């Protein structure tokens, strides 16, 4: 699973940009505080152009929109709906990731496939995540 480089939080109207990954801490070792969203936007936009990832980017970037994710469990040749939520347009999941929801009913969910574009839209989502359940005690 991809990791966020920075986390954006809001405290008393200020935007706090907290480095979380090693590469972010190399660039900005300490939290950077901006008085408002427009002043933080320039920093965020420059780092995004360099390929860094921001959690809560929508707190400073008015054009950034979370997209609808659909989750499906693969059983044989069928995909059974397993829920939906919203997430970043650039999926954080990668094949072989263990879904972070944790074990449920003695099983974990392994990401088998990440589907985007027209194929995901045909399934009713912007991003479709195909999962495979495995016995949690076997891992």
| Residue 100 pLDDT level (bands cut at 50, 70, 90) | confident
What share of the chain has pLDDT > 70, as a percent? 99
Give the C-alpha separation, 67 to 31, whole Å: 27
Kindly report which listed range (25-29, 76-80, 135-139) carries the lowest average pLDDT score.
Answer: 135-139
Max Cα distance, the chain (Å): 53
Q: What is the pLDDT of residue 55?
A: 95
pLDDT tens readout for residues 49-83: 999 999 999 999 999 999 999 999 998 889 999 99
Q: What is the pLDDT of residue 139?
A: 55
HSE-up (13 A, CA, CB side) for residue 10: 9
Contacts of 89 (CB under 8 A, 6+ apart): 65, 66, 67, 126, 127
pLDDT > 90? residue 21: yes
Kindly report which listed range (31-35, 69-73, 76-80, 102-106) carries the lowest average pLDDT score.
Answer: 102-106
Q: Tokens 């044989």 map to which residue?
A: 76
Q: What is the pLDDT of residue 67?
A: 96
Q: Tokens 């989502």 map to which residue?
A: 125
pTM for the whole structure = 0.81
Provide the mean pLDDT of the chain: 94
Q: What is the dihedral of CA 19, 25, 28, 32, to 10 degrees?
A: 20
How many Cβ atoms are within 10 Å of 71's Cβ, its own excluded? 22
């Amino acid at each position: 699973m991809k990791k966020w480089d920075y986390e954006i939080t809001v405290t008393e109207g200020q935007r706090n940009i907290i480095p979380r990954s090693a590469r972010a801490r190399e660039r900005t070792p300490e939290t950077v505080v901006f008085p408002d969203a427009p002043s933080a936007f320039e920093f965020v936009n420059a780092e995004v152009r360099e390929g860094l990832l921001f959690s809560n980017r929508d707190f400073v970037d008015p054009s950034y929109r979370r997209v609808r994710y659909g989750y499906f469990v693969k059983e044989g040749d069928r995909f059974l709906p397993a829920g939906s939520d919203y997430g970043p347009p650039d999926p954080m999941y990668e094949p072989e990731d263990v879904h972070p929801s944790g074990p449920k009913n003695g099983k974990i969910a392994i990401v088998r496939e990440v589907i985007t574009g027209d194929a995901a839209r045909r399934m009713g989502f912007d991003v479709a995540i195909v999962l495979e359940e495995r016995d949690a005690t076997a891992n």
